[in-house]
C-alpha cells in the first residue's frame, strides 16, 4: 500500500509540473502570469507560403500587429505643448512618437522590407528594450508612379479659426506645385453638404487648380461623412489602374453632422476603398478630432499626419511627397515570436489599435497597414529576461502584399541575448537612443509605467539635447524643448 501511495503521489507531482510548465512568456497586458515551457521560439518562415515548422507553438509567446506609419499623435501633442497645454493621455500613441523620428535603418535592395533588430538592457534588473525596425526602399520623385489625388477639404465653420483653412490652402498650393505632368487632381469641399469643386484635372493645369483652392471659404457645420462619400465617388469615377489613387482628407476632424463615427463613415465608402483607393488624413487645428481621424486612417487603408504650421505642411508635401503618395506594401503586418526560455514577459509599446490575432498574420483577407517608399516602422518591446538567459530572444517576421499584384511576401530576422547592449544609453546608436527618448516621453505623457527607462523628464530632456548635437537633427532639438515644456506644465 505504501508503495502504491508513493506512485500516486509521484504521478500527481509530475502532472502538476507538466501543467505549470506548459506556457510561454506573458504580455504584460495579458492580466495573468504564465511559466515558461523552456522550448526555443519557433522561427518564422522567410518566404511567402512556407508552412511553419512542426512542433507546438508556445502559448502567449507571439505578438502580432498591423504596421502603422501614422505620426499625427506626435504632431498634435507638439502643437498642444507649444500652446502651453499638456496633451490628453488618451491622445498620446507611443508608436507615433517613435515613428516621427528618423531611425537610420539600412534600406533593402528590392521593393520589400529590410528587417532590423537590436536592443539593450534596461534600467531595472532583468529588463531590456527590443527594437524591431522595418524599412522600405526610398524612391525619388521622378521615379514614382503617377497620382490620382482627390482632395476632400473641410470648409465648415470651425475651419474659419486662424491656422486652419488658411493652412490647408497653403498646403494644397504647395502640393499642386510639386506634382508632375502625369498627375491629376480633383477637389471636393464639405460643410453642411459636399460639393465637387473641380473634377479630375491634369496637374499641368495649375492655374485652374490654384484658382479652385483660393475659392475655398468656411461655411456651415461639419458633415465629414458626406464629404468622404463624395470624394470616394469622384476618386472611383476617375480611377486609373496605373496610378496611385488616393483620397486626401484635410480637416480638423470635428464631425457634427451626418454619421460622426469612423465605422459608420467607412461603411459608406468601403466598396470604393476596396478598389485600391487609399486614404491620407491630414489633421489641422488646435482643437482636433484625433480619435476619428486616426481610426479613419487605420481602417481605411491609409495613414494620418498632423500639421500645425505652414512649414510643417510644406515639409509633408515636399520632402515627404513620395512617401505620402506612393506605396511599397499593402496590408503589411509584423509578428514577433519570443523565446520563452529567455523572455519571461513582454509588452509592446503602443500599437493598441493595431493589434491582431496570431492567426491573422498569414490571413491576407485581414487588414494590415499601407507603407510608402522610404518609410521606417519601429516597434519597441519592453522585456523581462530570465536570470542567466542566453540564446535567441526573438524572431521578427514582416508580411506584406505587392501593391499591384497582391502577391504575398515575407522577410524575417532573429536576435540573441548576446546582441543586446549593456544599457540604453551606452553601446547603442544615437538613433536608437532618440527612439528611446521619444518612447519614454510618450509613456510619461500617457502616465504609464516608464520605470524601465530610468529617467524622469529632466533626464530625458538632457539626453535629447545631447542627441541633437550628435545627430544635428533639428527635430531632436525640438524634442528636447517639448520635454522641457511638458515638465513645466506639471
Tens digit of each residue's pLDDT (9 = 90 or more) over 415-443: 999 999 999 999 999 999 999 999 999 99
Percent of the chain topping pLDDT 70: 88
Nearest to 39 by CA among 439, 322, 457, 391: 391
The confidence band for 306, taking pLDDT boundaries of 50, 70 and 90, is: very high
C-beta atoms surrounding 408 within 10 Å? 16
The 10 Å CB-count burial string (b at 16+, else e) for 225-240 is bbbbbbbbbbbbebee
Q: What is the mean pLDDT of residues 314-342?
A: 88
Nearest to 123 by CA among 392, 480, 456: 456
- Cα of 74 vs its chain's centroid, Å: 11
Nearest to 130 by CA among 340, 347, 380: 380
User: How far is the C-alpha of 435 from the C-alpha of 103, rounded, in Å?
Assistant: 7
| Phi/psi of residue 110, nearest 5 degrees | -100, -160
Concatenated DSSP letters of 347-361:
EESS-GGGB--GGGT
Which helix (H) or strand (E) covers residue 99, if one does?
helix 94-99
Q: Which residues contact 397 (CB under 8 A, 6 or more apart)?
A: 44, 45, 46, 115, 334, 335, 336, 337, 361, 410, 411, 412
Residue listed under C-alpha cell 491582431: 356
Secondary structure (3-state) at 85: coil
Residue listed under C-alpha cell 507538466: 18
Which helix (H) or strand (E) covers residue 291, if one does?
helix 290-299
Q: What is the mean pLDDT of the chain?
A: 86
Please state the pTM of the whole predicted model: 0.84
Residue 319 pLDDT greater than 80, yes or no: no
Range with lowest mean pLDDT among 77-91, 260-274, 286-300, 329-343: 260-274
DSSP type of residue 144: S
Residue listed under C-alpha cell 520605470: 451
Tens digit of each residue's pLDDT (9 = 90 or more) over 336-361: 999 999 999 999 999 999 999 999 99
What pLDDT, on a 0 to 100 scale, did the predictor assign at position 27? 59
Cβ–Cβ under 8 Å, residues 374 and 139:
yes
Q: Which residues contact 180 (CB under 8 A, 6 or more apart)?
A: 141, 142, 146, 203
Residue listed under C-alpha cell 498574420: 361
Q: What is the mean pLDDT of residues 302-318?
A: 87
User: How far is the C-alpha of 13 from the C-alpha of 246, rounded, in Å?
Assistant: 62
The confidence band for 144, taking pLDDT boundaries of 50, 70 and 90, is: confident
Tens digit of each residue's pLDDT (9 = 90 or more) over 187-246: 999 999 999 999 999 999 999 999 999 999 998 899 999 999 999 999 999 999 989 999
User: How far is the C-alpha of 188 from the C-alpha of 186, rounded, in Å?
Assistant: 7
Nearest to 75 by CA among 307, 318, 313: 307
The confidence band for 60, taking pLDDT boundaries of 50, 70 and 90, is: low
Range with lowest mean pLDDT among 225-234, 240-249, 322-331, 391-400: 322-331
Residue 464 pLDDT greater than 70, yes or no: yes
User: How far is the C-alpha of 337 from the C-alpha of 25, rounded, in Å?
Assistant: 10
Amino acid at each position: 500500500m505504501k508503495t502504491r501511495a508513493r506512485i500516486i503521489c509521484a504521478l500527481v507531482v509530475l502532472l502538476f509540473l507538466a501543467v505549470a510548465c506548459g506556457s510561454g512568456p506573458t504580455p504584460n497586458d495579458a492580466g495573468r502570469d504564465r511559466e515558461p515551457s523552456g522550448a526555443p521560439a519557433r522561427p518564422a518562415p522567410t518566404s511567402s507560403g512556407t508552412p511553419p515548422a512542426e512542433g507546438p507553438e508556445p502559448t502567449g509567446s507571439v505578438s502580432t500587429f498591423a504596421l502603422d506609419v501614422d505620426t499625427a499623435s506626435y504632431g498634435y501633442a507638439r502643437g498642444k505643448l507649444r500652446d502651453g497645454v499638456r496633451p490628453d493621455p488618451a491622445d498620446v500613441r507611443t508608436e507615433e512618437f517613435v515613428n516621427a523620428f528618423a531611425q537610420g535603418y539600412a534600406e533593402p535592395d528590392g521593393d520589400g522590407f529590410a528587417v532590423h533588430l537590436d536592443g539593450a538592457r534596461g534600467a531595472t534588473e532583468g529588463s531590456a528594450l527590443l527594437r524591431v525596425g522595418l524599412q522600405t526602399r526610398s524612391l525619388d520623385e521622378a521615379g514614382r508612379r503617377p497620382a490620382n489625388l482627390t482632395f476632400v477639404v473641410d470648409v465648415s465653420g470651425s475651419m474659419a479659426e486662424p491656422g486652419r483653412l488658411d493652412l490647408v490652402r497653403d498646403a494644397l498650393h504647395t502640393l499642386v506645385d510639386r506634382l508632375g505632368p502625369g498627375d491629376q487632381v480633383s477637389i471636393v469641399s464639405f460643410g453642411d453638404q459636399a460639393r465637387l469643386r473641380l473634377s479630375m484635372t491634369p496637374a499641368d493645369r495649375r492655374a485652374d487648380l490654384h484658382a479652385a483652392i483660393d475659392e475655398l471659404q468656411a461655411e456651415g457645420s461639419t458633415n465629414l461623412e458626406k464629404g468622404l462619400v463624395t470624394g470616394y465617388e469622384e476618386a472611383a469615377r476617375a480611377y486609373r489602374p496605373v496610378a496611385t489613387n488616393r483620397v486626401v482628407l484635410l480637416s480638423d476632424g470635428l464631425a457634427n453632422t451626418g454619421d460622426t463615427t469612423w465605422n459608420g463613415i467607412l461603411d459608406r465608402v468601403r466598396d470604393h476603398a476596396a478598389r485600391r483607393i487609399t486614404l491620407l488624413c491630414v489633421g489641422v487645428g488646435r482643437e482636433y478630432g484625433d480619435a476619428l481621424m486616426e481610426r479613419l486612417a487605420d481602417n481605411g487603408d491609409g495613414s494620418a499626419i498632423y500639421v500645425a504650421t505652414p512649414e510643417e505642411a510644406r515639409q509633408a508635401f515636399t520632402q515627404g511627397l513620395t512617401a505620402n503618395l506612393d506605396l511599397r506594401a499593402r496590408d503589411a503586418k509584423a509578428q514577433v515570436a519570443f523565446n520563452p526560455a529567455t523572455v519571461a514577459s513582454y509588452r509592446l509599446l503602443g500599437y493598441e489599435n493595431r493589434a491582431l490575432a496570431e492567426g491573422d498574420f498569414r490571413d491576407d483577407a485581414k487588414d494590415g497597414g499601407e507603407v510608402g517608399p522610404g518609410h521606417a516602422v519601429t516597434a519597441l518591446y519592453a522585456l523581462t529576461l530570465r536570470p542567466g538567459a542566453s540564446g535567441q530572444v526573438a524572431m521578427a517576421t514582416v508580411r506584406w502584399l505587392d501593391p499591384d499584384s497582391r502577391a504575398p511576401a515575407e522577410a524575417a530576422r532573429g536576435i540573441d541575448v548576446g546582441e543586446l547592449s549593456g544599457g540604453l544609453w551606452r553601446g547603442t546608436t544615437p538613433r536608437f537612443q532618440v527612439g528611446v527618448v521619444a518612447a519614454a516621453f510618450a509613456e510619461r505623457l500617457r502616465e504609464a509605467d516608464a520605470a524601465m527607462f530610468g529617467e524622469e523628464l529632466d533626464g530625458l530632456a538632457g539626453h535629447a539635447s545631447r542627441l541633437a548635437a550628435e545627430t544635428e537633427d533639428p527635430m531632436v532639438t525640438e524634442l528636447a524643448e517639448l520635454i522641457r515644456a511638458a515638465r513645466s506644465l506639471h
